Chains A and B, each alone.
Chain A
Protein backbone atom coordinates (compact mmCIF):
# COMPACT_ATOMS: atom_id res chain seq x y z
CA UNK A 1 0.00 0.00 0.00
CA UNK A 2 1.35 3.38 -0.96
CA UNK A 3 1.09 6.07 1.76
CA UNK A 4 3.22 8.67 -0.02
CA UNK A 5 1.51 11.59 -1.79
CA UNK A 6 3.28 14.13 -3.97
CA UNK A 7 1.71 17.27 -2.48
CA UNK A 8 -0.29 18.28 0.57
CA UNK A 9 -3.26 19.00 -1.72
CA UNK A 10 -3.19 15.46 -3.10
CA UNK A 11 -2.79 14.03 0.41
CA UNK A 12 -6.06 15.73 1.41
CA UNK A 13 -8.03 14.38 -1.58
CA UNK A 14 -11.12 12.45 -0.53
CA UNK A 15 -10.62 12.93 3.19
CA UNK A 16 -11.41 16.62 3.70
CA UNK A 17 -14.95 17.96 3.86
CA UNK A 18 -17.04 20.74 5.40
CA UNK A 19 -17.88 20.53 9.10
CA UNK A 20 -15.09 18.12 10.05
CA UNK A 21 -13.35 17.84 13.41
CA UNK A 22 -9.63 18.06 12.71
CA UNK A 23 -6.94 17.37 15.32
CA UNK A 24 -3.77 19.31 14.54
CA UNK A 25 -0.32 18.93 16.08
CA UNK A 26 2.00 21.74 17.09
CA UNK A 27 2.69 24.07 20.00
CA UNK A 28 2.64 27.74 19.12
CA UNK A 29 4.21 27.73 15.66
CA UNK A 30 6.58 24.88 16.56
CA UNK A 31 5.89 21.60 14.81
CA UNK A 32 2.70 22.72 13.08
CA UNK A 33 1.52 21.04 9.85
CA UNK A 34 2.01 24.24 7.88
CA UNK A 35 1.82 22.67 4.40
CA UNK A 36 -1.46 20.85 5.12
CA UNK A 37 -2.98 23.99 6.65
CA UNK A 38 -2.09 25.91 3.49
CA UNK A 39 -3.63 23.13 1.38
CA UNK A 40 -6.82 23.18 3.49
CA UNK A 41 -7.01 26.92 2.84
CA UNK A 42 -6.71 26.34 -0.90
CA UNK A 43 -9.27 23.50 -0.77
CA UNK A 44 -11.77 25.85 0.87
CA UNK A 45 -13.45 23.37 3.25
CA UNK A 46 -15.45 25.34 5.79
CA UNK A 47 -17.22 25.10 9.17
CA UNK A 48 -14.21 23.23 10.47
CA UNK A 49 -13.59 22.49 14.13
CA UNK A 50 -9.95 22.31 15.16
CA UNK A 51 -8.63 20.59 18.26
CA UNK A 52 -5.27 22.32 18.47
CA UNK A 53 -3.39 23.73 21.45
CA UNK A 54 -3.11 27.15 19.78
CA UNK A 55 -4.61 28.99 16.84
CA UNK A 56 -1.42 30.17 15.15
CA UNK A 57 -0.76 33.85 14.46
CA UNK A 58 -2.64 36.10 12.05
CA UNK A 59 -0.76 35.03 8.92
CA UNK A 60 0.65 31.60 9.83
CA UNK A 61 -0.65 28.31 11.11
CA UNK A 62 -4.38 28.00 11.75
CA UNK A 63 -4.50 31.80 11.52
CA UNK A 64 -4.59 31.56 7.72
CA UNK A 65 -7.86 29.59 7.96
CA UNK A 66 -9.34 32.18 10.29
CA UNK A 67 -8.67 34.86 7.69
CA UNK A 68 -10.74 32.89 5.19
CA UNK A 69 -13.49 32.11 7.77
CA UNK A 70 -13.06 28.36 7.34
CA UNK A 71 -13.02 27.70 11.09
CA UNK A 72 -16.25 27.38 13.06
CA UNK A 73 -14.81 26.32 16.40
CA UNK A 74 -11.50 25.94 18.21
CA UNK A 75 -10.74 23.54 21.06
CA UNK A 76 -7.55 25.05 22.51
CA UNK A 77 -5.70 25.88 25.72
CA UNK A 78 -4.18 29.22 24.71
CA UNK A 79 -5.05 31.58 21.88
CA UNK A 80 -3.37 34.81 22.95
CA UNK A 81 -1.14 35.35 19.92
CA UNK A 82 -3.82 35.91 17.33
CA UNK A 83 -5.61 39.26 16.89
CA UNK A 84 -7.96 38.04 14.15
CA UNK A 85 -8.96 35.13 16.37
CA UNK A 86 -9.91 37.53 19.15
CA UNK A 87 -11.86 39.74 16.77
CA UNK A 88 -13.92 36.81 15.44
CA UNK A 89 -14.40 35.36 18.91
CA UNK A 90 -15.54 38.62 20.50
CA UNK A 91 -17.96 39.27 17.62
CA UNK A 92 -19.49 35.80 18.04
CA UNK A 93 -18.35 34.47 14.66
CA UNK A 94 -16.09 31.84 16.19
CA UNK A 95 -16.80 29.30 18.93
CA UNK A 96 -14.11 28.58 21.47
CA UNK A 97 -13.81 25.72 23.94
CA UNK A 98 -10.95 26.18 26.36
CA UNK A 99 -9.32 22.99 27.57
CA UNK A 100 -6.45 22.88 30.05
CA UNK A 101 -3.39 21.95 28.02
CA UNK A 102 -2.84 18.57 29.65
CA UNK A 103 -6.53 17.74 29.44
CA UNK A 104 -6.47 18.52 25.71
CA UNK A 105 -3.40 16.32 25.17
CA UNK A 106 -4.94 13.48 27.19
CA UNK A 107 -8.29 13.81 25.41
CA UNK A 108 -6.46 13.25 22.12
CA UNK A 109 -4.36 10.40 23.48
CA UNK A 110 -7.44 8.78 25.03
CA UNK A 111 -9.43 9.07 21.80
CA UNK A 112 -6.58 7.40 19.95
CA UNK A 113 -6.49 4.61 22.52
CA UNK A 114 -10.23 3.88 22.41
CA UNK A 115 -10.90 5.49 25.78
CA UNK A 116 -14.09 7.60 25.61
CA UNK A 117 -13.61 9.29 28.98
CA UNK A 118 -11.23 9.68 31.91
CA UNK A 119 -11.22 11.38 35.30
CA UNK A 120 -8.74 14.12 36.11
CA UNK A 121 -8.06 16.47 39.00
CA UNK A 122 -7.23 19.28 36.57
CA UNK A 123 -9.87 22.01 36.72
CA UNK A 124 -11.77 20.72 39.78
CA UNK A 125 -13.53 23.67 41.41
CA UNK A 126 -13.03 25.94 38.39
CA UNK A 127 -15.18 27.03 35.43
CA UNK A 128 -13.79 24.06 33.51
CA UNK A 129 -15.64 21.67 35.83
CA UNK A 130 -19.06 23.24 35.23
CA UNK A 131 -21.52 20.68 33.88
CA UNK A 132 -19.05 17.81 34.17
CA UNK A 133 -19.51 14.67 36.25
CA UNK A 134 -17.54 14.69 39.50
CA UNK A 135 -16.40 11.42 41.05
CA UNK A 136 -14.44 10.78 44.21
CA UNK A 137 -11.42 8.51 44.31
CA UNK A 138 -9.66 8.03 47.65
CA UNK A 139 -11.56 11.00 49.05
CA UNK A 140 -10.56 13.44 46.31
CA UNK A 141 -12.72 14.95 43.56
CA UNK A 142 -12.02 14.30 39.90
CA UNK A 143 -13.94 15.47 36.82
CA UNK A 144 -14.89 13.44 33.78
CA UNK A 145 -13.30 14.53 30.52
CA UNK A 146 -14.07 12.93 27.16
CA UNK A 147 -11.70 11.48 24.60
CA UNK A 148 -11.46 13.28 21.25
CA UNK A 149 -12.28 11.19 18.20
CA UNK A 150 -11.32 13.36 15.24
CA UNK A 151 -12.39 12.87 11.64
CA UNK A 152 -8.93 13.83 10.44
CA UNK A 153 -5.51 14.34 12.00
CA UNK A 154 -2.86 16.58 10.49
CA UNK A 155 0.64 16.46 11.96
CA UNK A 156 4.21 17.48 11.23
CA UNK A 157 7.20 15.20 11.77
CA UNK A 158 10.88 15.41 10.96
CA UNK A 159 11.34 12.11 9.16
CA UNK A 160 9.13 9.29 7.94
CA UNK A 161 9.77 6.04 6.17
CA UNK A 162 7.36 4.90 3.48
CA UNK A 163 5.37 2.83 6.02
CA UNK A 164 4.57 5.96 8.03
CA UNK A 165 6.91 5.38 10.97
CA UNK A 166 7.62 8.88 12.29
CA UNK A 167 10.52 10.58 14.05
CA UNK A 168 10.10 14.05 15.48
CA UNK A 169 12.78 16.58 16.34
CA UNK A 170 13.26 18.22 19.76
CA UNK A 171 10.23 20.14 21.10
CA UNK A 172 8.53 20.01 17.69
CA UNK A 173 7.09 16.66 18.84
CA UNK A 174 4.63 18.27 21.33
CA UNK A 175 0.99 17.58 20.39
CA UNK A 176 1.80 15.72 17.17
CA UNK A 177 1.74 12.12 18.47
CA UNK A 178 -1.54 12.42 20.44
CA UNK A 179 -3.13 14.43 17.60
CA UNK A 180 -2.05 11.77 15.10
CA UNK A 181 -3.48 8.97 17.22
CA UNK A 182 -7.01 10.36 17.62
CA UNK A 183 -8.01 10.74 13.96
CA UNK A 184 -9.85 8.30 11.71
CA UNK A 185 -7.36 9.31 9.04
CA UNK A 186 -3.96 10.81 9.80
CA UNK A 187 -1.85 12.75 7.33
CA UNK A 188 1.76 13.49 8.28
CA UNK A 189 3.86 16.11 6.53
CA UNK A 190 7.57 15.58 6.97
CA UNK A 191 10.86 17.22 6.09
CA UNK A 192 12.27 14.01 4.71
CA UNK A 193 10.99 10.60 3.62
CA UNK A 194 13.78 8.10 4.12
CA UNK A 195 14.10 4.56 2.73
CA UNK A 196 12.52 1.72 4.67
CA UNK A 197 15.07 0.30 7.11
CA UNK A 198 17.02 3.50 7.61
CA UNK A 199 15.18 4.51 10.77
CA UNK A 200 16.33 2.60 13.84
CA UNK A 201 13.19 0.69 14.96
CA UNK A 202 14.09 1.44 18.60
CA UNK A 203 13.97 5.19 18.03
CA UNK A 204 10.66 5.53 16.19
CA UNK A 205 8.43 7.99 18.10
CA UNK A 206 5.13 7.12 16.42
CA UNK A 207 4.56 3.77 14.69
CA UNK A 208 3.24 3.89 11.14
CA UNK A 209 -0.02 2.17 12.14
CA UNK A 210 -1.30 5.63 13.10
CA UNK A 211 -0.24 7.30 9.85
CA UNK A 212 -2.23 6.79 6.65
CA UNK A 213 -0.79 9.38 4.30
CA UNK A 214 2.61 11.06 4.10
CA UNK A 215 3.79 14.10 2.21
CA UNK A 216 7.27 15.56 2.06
CA UNK A 217 7.86 19.27 1.67
CA UNK A 218 9.84 22.36 2.55
CA UNK A 219 8.88 24.03 5.79
CA UNK A 220 9.24 27.67 6.74
CA UNK A 221 9.36 26.77 10.47
CA UNK A 222 8.72 30.31 11.68
CA UNK A 223 10.01 31.33 15.12
CA UNK A 224 7.45 33.06 17.34
CA UNK A 225 9.73 34.52 20.04
CA UNK A 226 13.35 34.76 18.99
CA UNK A 227 15.30 35.03 22.26
CA UNK A 228 19.08 34.89 22.34
CA UNK A 229 22.07 35.84 24.48
CA UNK A 230 25.27 37.52 23.38
CA UNK A 231 28.33 35.32 23.14
CA UNK A 232 30.29 37.50 25.58
CA UNK A 233 27.70 36.72 28.28
CA UNK A 234 28.81 33.11 28.33
Chain B
Protein backbone atom coordinates (compact mmCIF):
# COMPACT_ATOMS: atom_id res chain seq x y z
CA UNK B 1 0.00 0.00 0.00
CA UNK B 2 1.23 3.45 -0.90
CA UNK B 3 4.33 4.64 -2.70
CA UNK B 4 7.94 3.58 -2.10
CA UNK B 5 10.87 6.01 -2.16
CA UNK B 6 11.24 5.89 -5.92
CA UNK B 7 7.53 6.30 -6.55
CA UNK B 8 7.49 9.33 -4.23
CA UNK B 9 10.41 10.79 -6.16
CA UNK B 10 8.65 10.08 -9.46
CA UNK B 11 5.51 11.81 -8.18
CA UNK B 12 7.56 14.81 -7.04
CA UNK B 13 9.16 15.01 -10.49
CA UNK B 14 5.68 15.62 -11.94
CA UNK B 15 5.71 18.96 -10.10
CA UNK B 16 8.55 20.20 -12.25
CA UNK B 17 7.87 22.08 -15.46
CA UNK B 18 10.01 22.60 -18.50
CA UNK B 19 12.53 25.40 -18.01
CA UNK B 20 12.49 25.40 -14.21
CA UNK B 21 15.53 26.04 -12.03
CA UNK B 22 15.21 23.69 -9.06
CA UNK B 23 17.05 22.85 -5.85
CA UNK B 24 16.84 19.25 -4.60
CA UNK B 25 17.56 18.36 -0.98
CA UNK B 26 19.33 15.28 0.36
CA UNK B 27 17.63 11.85 0.52
CA UNK B 28 14.50 11.06 -1.48
CA UNK B 29 14.57 14.53 -3.14
CA UNK B 30 17.91 13.63 -4.75
CA UNK B 31 16.14 10.73 -6.52
CA UNK B 32 13.76 13.19 -8.22
CA UNK B 33 16.50 13.93 -10.77
CA UNK B 34 16.07 10.36 -12.10
CA UNK B 35 12.46 11.03 -13.10
CA UNK B 36 12.44 14.39 -14.90
CA UNK B 37 12.32 12.65 -18.29
CA UNK B 38 12.45 14.99 -21.29
CA UNK B 39 11.75 18.12 -19.25
CA UNK B 40 14.45 20.77 -19.44
CA UNK B 41 15.27 21.19 -15.75
CA UNK B 42 18.35 22.98 -14.39
CA UNK B 43 19.44 21.77 -10.96
CA UNK B 44 20.99 24.24 -8.55
CA UNK B 45 23.52 23.16 -5.96
CA UNK B 46 23.63 25.88 -3.32
CA UNK B 47 27.38 25.64 -2.82
CA UNK B 48 27.66 27.55 -6.10
CA UNK B 49 26.50 25.79 -9.26
CA UNK B 50 23.65 25.76 -11.74
CA UNK B 51 23.44 22.79 -14.10
CA UNK B 52 24.46 19.95 -11.81
CA UNK B 53 25.34 16.74 -13.64
CA UNK B 54 25.43 13.09 -12.50
CA UNK B 55 28.10 11.42 -10.37
CA UNK B 56 31.43 11.08 -12.19
CA UNK B 57 32.71 7.81 -13.62
CA UNK B 58 35.17 5.93 -11.41
CA UNK B 59 38.50 7.74 -11.61
CA UNK B 60 37.04 11.03 -12.89
CA UNK B 61 36.29 12.54 -9.46
CA UNK B 62 37.34 16.18 -9.11
CA UNK B 63 37.84 17.51 -5.56
CA UNK B 64 36.88 20.99 -6.83
CA UNK B 65 33.48 19.76 -8.04
CA UNK B 66 31.01 18.71 -5.36
CA UNK B 67 27.33 19.20 -4.57
CA UNK B 68 25.77 20.58 -1.40
CA UNK B 69 25.87 17.07 0.10
CA UNK B 70 29.67 17.17 -0.45
CA UNK B 71 29.43 14.36 -3.02
CA UNK B 72 31.57 14.42 -6.15
CA UNK B 73 29.50 15.34 -9.22
CA UNK B 74 30.02 16.48 -12.83
CA UNK B 75 29.22 19.54 -14.90
CA UNK B 76 27.03 19.83 -17.99
CA UNK B 77 27.30 21.99 -21.11
CA UNK B 78 24.94 24.51 -19.46
CA UNK B 79 26.78 24.68 -16.12
CA UNK B 80 27.74 27.93 -14.44
CA UNK B 81 29.64 28.46 -11.19
CA UNK B 82 29.36 31.32 -8.70
CA UNK B 83 30.17 32.15 -5.09
CA UNK B 84 27.98 31.37 -2.07
CA UNK B 85 26.68 34.94 -1.68
CA UNK B 86 25.52 34.95 -5.30
CA UNK B 87 24.06 31.47 -4.88
CA UNK B 88 21.91 32.48 -1.94
CA UNK B 89 21.14 35.75 -3.66
CA UNK B 90 19.32 33.79 -6.36
CA UNK B 91 17.65 31.64 -3.69
CA UNK B 92 16.59 34.54 -1.45
CA UNK B 93 15.69 36.59 -4.50
CA UNK B 94 13.09 34.07 -5.63
CA UNK B 95 14.88 33.10 -8.84
CA UNK B 96 14.80 29.38 -8.01
CA UNK B 97 11.34 28.13 -9.00
CA UNK B 98 11.11 25.26 -6.53
CA UNK B 99 12.87 23.39 -3.77
CA UNK B 100 12.08 19.75 -3.05
CA UNK B 101 13.21 18.73 0.39
CA UNK B 102 12.72 16.25 3.20
CA UNK B 103 11.12 17.01 6.57
CA UNK B 104 10.74 15.71 10.09
CA UNK B 105 7.39 17.49 10.58
CA UNK B 106 5.03 19.65 8.54
CA UNK B 107 2.05 21.54 9.97
CA UNK B 108 -1.27 22.43 8.39
CA UNK B 109 -0.28 26.11 8.24
CA UNK B 110 2.80 25.28 6.17
CA UNK B 111 5.30 25.35 9.04
CA UNK B 112 8.29 23.11 8.38
CA UNK B 113 10.68 21.45 10.84
CA UNK B 114 13.66 19.60 9.43
CA UNK B 115 16.84 20.81 11.09
CA UNK B 116 17.03 19.94 14.75
CA UNK B 117 15.71 17.67 17.49
CA UNK B 118 16.27 19.25 20.92
CA UNK B 119 18.51 17.11 23.11
CA UNK B 120 19.98 15.31 20.11
CA UNK B 121 23.08 16.14 18.15
CA UNK B 122 22.53 19.38 16.22
CA UNK B 123 24.39 19.53 12.96
CA UNK B 124 23.04 22.82 11.66
CA UNK B 125 20.49 24.09 9.19
CA UNK B 126 22.88 24.50 6.28
CA UNK B 127 20.96 26.24 3.50
CA UNK B 128 17.50 24.91 4.39
CA UNK B 129 16.19 28.08 6.09
CA UNK B 130 17.31 30.23 3.17
CA UNK B 131 15.75 27.88 0.63
CA UNK B 132 12.33 27.63 2.24
CA UNK B 133 12.21 31.41 2.80
CA UNK B 134 13.23 32.28 -0.72
CA UNK B 135 12.25 29.85 -3.48
CA UNK B 136 9.02 30.06 -5.45
CA UNK B 137 7.49 26.79 -4.33
CA UNK B 138 8.44 24.51 -1.43
CA UNK B 139 7.58 20.84 -1.94
CA UNK B 140 8.17 18.45 0.94
CA UNK B 141 8.75 14.77 0.25
CA UNK B 142 8.70 12.51 3.30
CA UNK B 143 7.15 9.45 4.92
CA UNK B 144 3.67 10.24 6.19
CA UNK B 145 4.33 8.69 9.60
CA UNK B 146 7.35 8.22 11.83
CA UNK B 147 8.74 4.85 12.88
CA UNK B 148 6.27 4.75 15.79
CA UNK B 149 3.39 5.13 13.32
CA UNK B 150 2.60 8.70 14.37
CA UNK B 151 1.61 11.34 11.83
CA UNK B 152 4.37 13.70 10.68
CA UNK B 153 1.67 15.88 9.11
CA UNK B 154 0.53 17.82 12.17
CA UNK B 155 -1.75 20.56 13.40
CA UNK B 156 1.35 22.26 14.81
CA UNK B 157 5.04 21.35 14.60
CA UNK B 158 6.58 20.26 17.90
CA UNK B 159 10.20 20.62 16.73
CA UNK B 160 12.08 23.90 16.18
CA UNK B 161 11.03 25.40 12.84
CA UNK B 162 13.05 25.70 9.67
CA UNK B 163 10.47 28.07 8.24
CA UNK B 164 7.08 29.47 9.18
CA UNK B 165 4.22 29.01 6.73
CA UNK B 166 6.58 28.08 3.91
CA UNK B 167 5.38 24.69 2.59
CA UNK B 168 3.16 24.62 -0.50
CA UNK B 169 2.76 20.92 -1.20
CA UNK B 170 3.44 17.69 0.73
CA UNK B 171 4.15 14.42 -1.05
CA UNK B 172 4.25 11.34 1.18
CA UNK B 173 4.06 7.58 0.76
CA UNK B 174 0.29 7.92 1.23
CA UNK B 175 -0.54 10.78 -1.13
CA UNK B 176 -0.30 14.44 -2.06
CA UNK B 177 -1.61 17.32 0.07
CA UNK B 178 -1.66 21.07 -0.50
CA UNK B 179 -1.43 23.72 2.20
CA UNK B 180 -4.54 25.88 1.79
CA UNK B 181 -6.61 28.30 3.85
CA UNK B 182 -7.73 26.51 7.01
CA UNK B 183 -5.67 23.33 6.62
CA UNK B 184 -4.63 20.78 4.03
CA UNK B 185 -6.43 19.75 0.88
CA UNK B 186 -6.04 16.23 -0.52
CA UNK B 187 -4.74 16.41 -4.08
CA UNK B 188 -4.47 12.67 -4.63
CA UNK B 189 -4.04 9.40 -2.80
CA UNK B 190 -1.11 7.07 -3.43
CA UNK B 191 -1.69 3.77 -5.22
CA UNK B 192 -3.87 1.50 -3.10
CA UNK B 193 -4.54 4.17 -0.45
CA UNK B 194 -8.11 5.32 0.17
CA UNK B 195 -9.04 8.84 1.22
CA UNK B 196 -10.25 7.42 4.54
CA UNK B 197 -6.86 5.82 5.16
CA UNK B 198 -5.05 9.04 4.27
CA UNK B 199 -7.29 11.04 6.63
CA UNK B 200 -6.84 8.50 9.42
CA UNK B 201 -3.05 8.69 9.12
CA UNK B 202 -3.04 12.50 9.23
CA UNK B 203 -3.21 14.58 12.41
CA UNK B 204 -3.56 17.87 10.53
CA UNK B 205 -6.94 19.35 9.61
CA UNK B 206 -8.03 18.25 6.15
CA UNK B 207 -10.45 20.66 4.50
Q: Which residues of A contact B (CB under 8 A)?
A: 27-31, 53, 76-81, 86, 98, 100-106, 108-109, 120-128, 158, 168-178, 205, 221-231, 234
Decide if B127 touches A76 in the complex (CB within 8 Å).
no
CB closest chain-B residue, reference A78: B124
> From residue B69, how far is it (CB to closest CB) to chain A in Å?
7
- Report chain A residues within 8 Å CB of B92: 102, 106, 120-122
> From residue B72, how far is it (CB to closest CB) to chain A in Å?
5
Jot down 23 A-B pairs with beta carbons below 8 A, ordered by A.
A27-B68, A27-B70, A30-B63, A77-B126, A78-B126, A80-B123, A98-B125, A100-B129, A101-B88, A106-B85, A122-B92, A122-B133, A125-B111, A128-B125, A128-B129, A170-B65, A171-B65, A171-B81, A174-B83, A223-B61, A225-B70, A228-B57, A228-B61
Q: Which 5 A/B pairs are nearest by Cβ-Cβ distance? A: A102-B88, A125-B164, A80-B123, A102-B130, A78-B124
Decide if A105 touches B81 in the complex (CB within 8 Å).
no
Decide if B57 touches A234 in the complex (CB within 8 Å).
yes
Taken together as a complex, chains A and B put the C-alpha atoms of A226 and B73 apart, in Å, by 9
Most chain B Cβ neighbours within 10 Å, of A78, A122, A168, A176 = A122
CB closest chain-A residue, reference B66: A30
CB < 8 Å A-B pair total: 184
> From residue A91, how far is it (CB to closest CB) to chain B in Å?
13
Is B134's CB within 8 Å of the partner chain A?
Answer: yes
Number of interface residues of B (CB under 8 A): 55
* Candidates A30, A108, A123; contact of B64 at CB < 8 Å: A30
Taken together as a complex, chains A and B put the C-alpha atoms of A116 and B54 apart, in Å, by 40
Decide if A86 touches B85 in the complex (CB within 8 Å).
no
> From residue A192, how far is it (CB to closest CB) to chain B in Å?
13
Decide if B57 touches A101 in the complex (CB within 8 Å).
no
Taken together as a complex, chains A and B put the C-alpha atoms of A100 and B88 apart, in Å, by 10
Decide if A77 touches B127 in the complex (CB within 8 Å).
yes
CB closest chain-A residue, reference B111: A125
- Report chain B residues within 8 Å CB of A29: 63, 70
Is B172's CB within 8 Å of the partner chain A?
Answer: no
Given the known A-B contacts A228-B61, A230-B58, are A102 and B127 also in contact in the complex, defined by CB atoms under 8 Å? Answer: yes
* Chain B 12-52 interface mask (CB, 8 Å, partner A; 1/0): 00000000000000000000000000000000011111000
Decide if A125 touches B71 in the complex (CB within 8 Å).
no
Decide if B70 touches A100 in the complex (CB within 8 Å).
no
Decide if B130 touches A103 in the complex (CB within 8 Å).
yes
Decide if A228 touches B85 in the complex (CB within 8 Å).
no
Taken together as a complex, chains A and B put the C-alpha atoms of A115 and B62 apart, in Å, by 36
> From residue A60, how far is it (CB to closest CB) to chain B in Å?
12
CB closest chain-B residue, reference A110: B85
Decide if A223 touches B126 in the complex (CB within 8 Å).
no
Taken together as a complex, chains A and B put the C-alpha atoms of A34 and B125 apart, in Å, by 24
> From residue B99, how far is it (CB to closest CB) to chain A in Å?
12
Decide if B129 touches A126 in the complex (CB within 8 Å).
yes
> From residue B58, how far is it (CB to closest CB) to chain A in Å?
5
Decide if A124 touches B164 in the complex (CB within 8 Å).
yes
- Report chain A residues within 8 Å CB of B162: 126
Question: Which residues in window 93-131 of B have CB below 8 A to A?
Answer: 111, 121-130
Decide if A121 touches B133 in the complex (CB within 8 Å).
yes
